[in-house]
């Protein structure tokens, strides 16, 4: 039981699953409601780690501006930028102290305006992070709120007066004691923080708070930003009587947090008051959301969000019940079933997203591929093929386009992420197995995905002339943008080619998805069909040669892309080499 209450965002992956057999058997064609945000490819930039222009070791907006031509050259359409607002950086910008100001380490509002202009001039859209489940304890609202029980901002946050006794247990992702209630002496009361103590939860049940949020959203939209990625948005509504955790959620707080009593009313209100007034894209971080509830968020008729990120793919390969540790018994058929299930749920309504990496995950090639020298190249290309052939909007995390891999720190002093550091502190206090924990973090920690961008083989990989805020991966000597640009067969150039293929084949965006050979333990194969044209995607997840038998009705035609040189087509089947990936015509 105790094992579950870990200090990590990754526990949000604890969504329940299951899909009705009726849905799974549905044979109706894919939804064809076209929209620009369904057709785009999104590139996620973690600005702290992208490019430093002033030598302070932290990536910044001017650095990002200097790389806009590179981003444009990738062929992506949208950039999702992690938070750049004023923040004391307890959680790298996910603790905001002023929603209308830029963090000085990142630059100024003039830099932001120049960034937006530079992106729009290149035809790239900008999606900003919207972090409004919580703010920073340095935000003026919280300073006011904690100053007195009668302060006008008191109800902007959730307070539990000490005279009522200890509040019912709420679990916190990052707290050193995993306790989401923190006692504040000034007013003899506890405040709620689902994340760290420096990230107090805003009280959305208070209409004034909601108006503040809508106001700040309009501020950025009126500047011209093109949408929002909404941080832990399913957590915003709370039962303010704070009852004991209902028994059915025992061991799964995130699922409870994602079912607040007024969540969907608030999302509909946000849509009415803000979203519906702009042509934008929205993606919620669907923490705690189970597939059964997916359409409540994105069914067009409900007028809430357009898309959200589910957590079941990033859940694969983590130990159930304690997500700070990798799971060595993972199976490919389970991963395929997850993709299949999340495709089917949006077959008639709504729309999905697909990602294999982000700033909360370790590197894609290290987790789902194979980052050892013989296979890093082919497995990274194979994963890009997967990302860019799904019926969902693809999100590519910076650095994955060159196959950046886990740094695998062995010393706790190298970590900067509060999730790893606070969990380690607690384990140490409890006399837990620190060596086992560190071995696990080397595979799954968030800092693996946050090491600086590898631009070249030189000092600090060309990221900064100062001391980087987080160590640069020593493999930048061979894995870097400069080298990849020169090699026509690099992961980078394959990624560009794959984007071009997605853009020229509407079947890869809108086509129906059908899983083939579901129990094949080594190959992920599926078709995408639209208006009589059927494309087969076959992806090897194995270090061995693997075969796929194709249905007799398939007529293998043109090979549209292949990450290796030899064709795998053999008669009416495929024989794939390790980590081989192909897209092939199989019908008109
Ligand atoms: C989800 C964000 O992606 C993560 O980085 C952050 O720590 C938490 N939400 C809290 O804002």
Q: Which residues pair with 285 in a beta bridge?
A: 309
Tokens of 111: 């830099």
- In tens, the pLDDT along 16-72 reads 333 333 333 333 444 569 999 999 999 999 999 999 999 999 999 999 999 999 999
Sign for the CA dihedral angle at 243, 245, 249, 253 comes to positive
Q: Copy the structure tokens of residue 466.
A: 């100062």
Tell me which residues have their CB closer than 6 angstroms to ligand 1.
9, 91, 94, 131, 195, 231-232, 285, 359-360
Q: Which two tokens stand for residue 283?
A: 């993606």
Ligand 1 mutation pick, 131, 172, 283, 355, max ligand atoms within 8 A of CB: 131
Pocket test of ligand 1: the residue of 7, 8, 9, 445 to mutate, having most ligand atoms within 8 Å of its CB, is: 9
- Inter-helix orientation angle 434-444/418-430, to 10°: 160
pLDDT tens per residue across span 96-117: 999 999 999 999 999 999 999 9
Q: Count CA atoms closer than 13 A to 579's CA, side-chain side.
A: 20
Residue with tokens 């900003």: 128
Structure tokens at 525: 């194969």
Per-residue pLDDT tens digits for 292-306: 999 999 999 999 999
Collapsing DSSP states into helix, strand and coil, what is residue 36?
helix
Cite the active site residues: 231, 285
- Smallest CA separation from ligand 1 atom 6, residue: 94
Query: Which tokens sit at 303?
Result: 């007028």
d(CA 125, CA 110): 18
Cβ 41 vs Cβ 75: under 8 Å: yes
Question: CB under 8 Å to 494, separation ≥6 — which residues?
Answer: 381, 384, 563
Q: Which atom of ligand 1 lies nearest, measured to the CA of 95?
A: 11
Dihedral (Cα; 311, 81, 418, 145), 10-degree rounding:
-100
pLDDT score for 447: 98
Positions of the chain with pLDDT lower than 70, given as ranges: 1-32, 588
Sorted by sequence, the CB contacts under 8 Å of residue 512 that are 6+ apart come out as: 29, 30, 347, 391, 527, 528, 529, 530
| Beta strands at 189-192 and 559-562: parallel, antiparallel or unpaired | unpaired
- Quick one: pLDDT at residue 507? 97
Calculate how far, in angstroms, residue 9's C-alpha sits from the geometric centre of ligand 1. Answer: 7
Q: How far is the CA of 195 from the centre of ligand 1 (A)?
A: 8
Asked if 537 and 586 touch (Cβ cutoff 8 Å), the reply is no
């Amino acid at each position: 039981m105790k094992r579950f209450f870990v200090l990590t965002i990754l526990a949000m992956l604890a969504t329940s699953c299951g899909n009705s057999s009726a849905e799974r058997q549905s044979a109706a064609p894919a939804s064809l409601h076209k929209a620009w945000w369904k057709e785009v490819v999104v590139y996620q930039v973690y600005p702290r780690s992208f490019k430093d222009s002033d030598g302070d070791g932290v990536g910044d907006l001017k650095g990002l501006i200097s790389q806009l031509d590179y981003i444009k050259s990738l062929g992506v359409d949208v950039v999702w930028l992690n938070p750049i607002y004023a923040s004391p950086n307890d959680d790298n910008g996910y603790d905001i102290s002023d929603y209308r100001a830029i963090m000085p380490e990142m630059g100024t509002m003039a830099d932001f305006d120049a960034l937006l202009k530079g992106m729009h001039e290149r035809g790239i859209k900008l999606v900003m992070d919207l972090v409004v489940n919580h703010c920073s304890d340095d935000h003026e609202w919280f300073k006011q709120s904690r100053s007195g029980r009668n302060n006008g901002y008191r109800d902007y946050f959730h307070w539990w007066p000490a005279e009522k006794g200890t509040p019912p247990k709420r679990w916190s992702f990052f707290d050193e004691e995993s306790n989401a209630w923190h006692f504040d002496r000034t007013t003899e009361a506890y405040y709620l923080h689902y994340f760290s103590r420096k990230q107090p939860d805003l009280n959305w049940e208070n209409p004034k708070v909601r108006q503040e949020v809508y106001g700040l959203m309009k501020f950025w939209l009126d500047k011209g930003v093109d949408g929002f990625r909404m941080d832990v948005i399913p957590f915003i509504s709370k039962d303010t009587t704070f009852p004991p955790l209902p028994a059915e959620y025992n061991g799964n707080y995130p699922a409870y947090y994602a079912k607040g009593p007024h969540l969907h009313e608030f999302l509909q209100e946000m849509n009415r008051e803000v979203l519906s007034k702009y042509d934008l894209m929205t993606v919620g971080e669907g923490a705690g959301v189970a597939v059964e509830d997916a359409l409540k968020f994105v069914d067009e008729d409900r007028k809430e969000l357009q898309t959200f990120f589910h957590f079941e793919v990033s859940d694969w390969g983590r130990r159930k019940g304690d997500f700070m540790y990798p799971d060595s018994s993972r199976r490919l058929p389970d991963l395929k079933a997850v993709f299949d299930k999340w495709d089917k749920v949006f077959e008639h309504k709504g729309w999905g997203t697909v990602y294999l990496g982000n700033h909360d995950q370790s590197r894609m090639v290290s987790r789902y591929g194979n980052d050892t020298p013989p296979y890093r190249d082919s497995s990274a290309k194979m994963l890009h093929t997967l990302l860019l052939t799904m019926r969902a909007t693809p999100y590519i995390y910076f650095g994955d386009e060159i196959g950046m891999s886990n740094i695998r720190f062995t010393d706790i002093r190298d970590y900067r992420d509060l999730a790893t550091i606070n969990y380690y502190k607690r384990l140490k206090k409890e006399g837990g197995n620190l060596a086992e924990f560190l071995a696990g973090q080397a595979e799954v920690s968030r800092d693996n995905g946050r090491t600086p961008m590898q631009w070249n083989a030189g000092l600090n990989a060309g990221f900064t002339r100062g001391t980087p805020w987080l160590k640069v991966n020593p493999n930048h000597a061979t894995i870097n943008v400069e080298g990849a640009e020169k090699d026509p067969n690099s992961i980078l150039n394959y990624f560009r080619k794959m984007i071009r293929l997605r853009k020229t084949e509407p079947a890869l965006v809108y086509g129906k998805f059908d899983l083939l050979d579901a129990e094949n333990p080594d190959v992920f194969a599926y078709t995408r069909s639209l208006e009589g044209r059927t494309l087969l995607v076959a992806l090897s997840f194995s270090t061995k040669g693997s075969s796929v038998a194709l249905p007799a009705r398939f007529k293998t035609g043109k090979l549209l892309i292949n990450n290796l040189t030899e064709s795998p087509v053999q008669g009416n089947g495929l024989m794939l080499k390790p980590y081989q990936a192909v897209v092939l015509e199989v019908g008109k």
